[in-house]
Amino acid sequence: MRRLSYVLGLAVIAATAAAAATHDKHAERDLAKALAGHVPGKTSECIDPKFASGPQIIGHDTLLYRQGSTIWKANVIGPCPSLEEGVTVITDIYGGQLCRNDKFRTLAPGESIPSAYCRLGNFTEYKPAK
Sequence spans of domains, the chain? 2-128
> Which is more confident, 24 or 3?
24
Query: Can you give the C-alpha Rg of the chain in angstroms?
Result: 18
Instruction: Say how far apart CA 83 and CA 102 lie, in whole Å.
Output: 15
> By C-alpha distance, which of 90, 117, 92, 114 is closest to 102?
92
In this structure, what is the dihedral angle of CA atoms 130, 72, 22, 118, given to the nearest 10 degrees? Answer: 170
pLDDT at 11 over 80: no
pLDDT at 118 over 60: yes
Number of neighbours of residue 10 by Cβ within 10 angstroms: 10
92-102 residue pLDDT tens = 988 899 999 99
CA distances from 87 to 15, 90, 115 (A): 24, 10, 10
The pTM (predicted TM-score) of the whole model is 0.79
pLDDT value for 20: 43
Mean pLDDT of 25-46: 93
Instruction: Say how far apart CA 59 and CA 31 lie, in whole Å.
Output: 9
User: Average pLDDT over the chain, rounded to whole?
Assistant: 85
